[in-house]
Structure 1
Amino acid sequence: MLIDPATAAGIADGSVTLAFRRWDRPRMRPGGTQRTAAGVVRIDSVDEVDPDSLTEDDAVQSGVRSLAELHRLLDRRPGAHVYRLRVGPAGPDPRVELREQATLSADERRAVDARLDRWDAAARGGRGRGRCSR
């Protein structure tokens, strides 16, 4: 499920609590998560709904200006069913912190290089061409 940056930011700050998708079958499950630019999004529930039962409040909770706009967005996509996903923030993307911490010592770098060299040597004996440069 793609979540645009503005919607992801709304989920992170709590102003967006619903998402609607048109799918042939559910593509997300309750308890699942998705990483976005604004952090991790938690999927609390996934329920099939009748598009005619949607309300202005549903549109507002999904970060859309109006019910007409929500219907327009749903009608742009193929899919036999409309699903309401209750969503919430699940915290920051853990990869950001890991990326900021990711530094290798000289010994760790040598170990990685040695392992890659072994893989390159094995690949040259088979079908690979090895690394181009470091």
Structure 2
Amino acid sequence: MLFKNHILDGIAKGEISLAFRRWKSARVNSGSRLHTTIGVLEIVSIEAIHDWEISDEDIKQAGFSTREGLLKEINSFSNDGNIYRIVLVHIGADPREELRERNELTEQEFVEVRGKLERLDKASPHGPWTAKFMCIIKQYPGLRSTELASAIEWETEKFKLNVRKLKNIGLTISLGTGYQISPRGEVVMERLELK
């Protein structure tokens, strides 16, 4: 789920606690967690409803002042499927942010990270990719994902999906445009002797 910045700001301030989406089938579940620019959001509950079931309080809790504005936003995502009422809560900072800033790893931590990278490489139908991705991101920080993917002959969406896997273990940072290696990633690359 994507959220506009003013909605995220409202969630962070505790002013917004609902989201509405129109989908053919639910794309999140109760208990799901979403990583956003304001931190981690948790889906408290999700239910399919009719548009006439949206109350005035729901409209306010979703960050809108009018029913028309909310319905226009819901339909801007899709005109097909059910409307889902999603209760969500901001549960705190993204733990990956703290992880990525840690530039000291114990031997055990390094072994764990190396093992995760090896498993990612083994699971890929394209063969080993983690070292290649880290090296090109280090070489071209901030370069658009389309250009990075093209440079190593990968499809852009698959490239972005795999960079998220590196981000999940604290090795990369997403920028406004492109990526960079995190302080933790720098240490891992040095210990793996990647250049």
Determine if contact 1:8/1:39 at 8 Å carries over to the other structure. Answer: no
CA distance in 2, matches of 1:103, 1:5: 33
Determine if contact 1:8/1:41 at 8 Å carries over to the other structure. Answer: no
CA distance in 1, matches of 2:8, 2:32: 15
CA distance in 2, matches of 1:61, 1:69: 13
Structure 2 residue aligned with 1:14: 14
**Cα offset, 1:97, TM superposition:** 0.8
CA RMSD of aligned residues (A): 2.9
CA distance in 2, matches of 1:104, 1:88: 32
Structure 1 residues 55 and 34: CA distance shift in structure 2, 3 A = same
Structure 2 residue aligned with 1:120: none
Q: Which amino acid aligns with 1:65?
A: S
Q: Which amino acid aligns with 2:75?
A: D
Q: Which runs of 4+ in 1 moved over 6 A?
A: none
Specify every segment of 5 or more residues in structure 2 that has no aligned partner in the other structure, as ranges: 112-126, 136-193
Secondary structure, in 3 states, of the residue corresponding to 1:90? strand
Aligned pairs (5 A) from 1:1-134: 1-78=1-78, 79-103=80-104, 134=195
Specify every segment of 5 or more residues in structure 1 that has no aligned partner in the other structure, as ranges: 112-126
CA distance in 2, matches of 1:102, 1:93: 17
**Cα offset, 1:102, TM superposition:** 2.9
**Cα offset, 1:95, TM superposition:** 1.0
Secondary structure, in 3 states, of the residue corresponding to 2:86? strand
CA distance in 1, matches of 2:70, 2:103: 42
CA distance in 1, matches of 2:4, 2:104: 31
**Cα offset, 1:104, TM superposition:** 5.5
CA distance in 1, matches of 2:95, 2:3: 18
CA distance in 2, matches of 1:77, 1:34: 18
Q: Which amino acid aligns with 1:92?
A: A
Determine if contact 1:24/1:80 at 8 Å carries over to the other structure. Answer: yes
**Cα offset, 1:87, TM superposition:** 0.5
- Which structure has more relative contact order (CA 8 Å, sep 6+)? It is 1
Secondary structure, in 3 states, of the residue corresponding to 2:77? coil
Secondary structure, in 3 states, of the residue corresponding to 1:96? helix
CA distance in 2, matches of 1:5, 1:35: 14
CA distance in 2, matches of 1:98, 1:10: 26
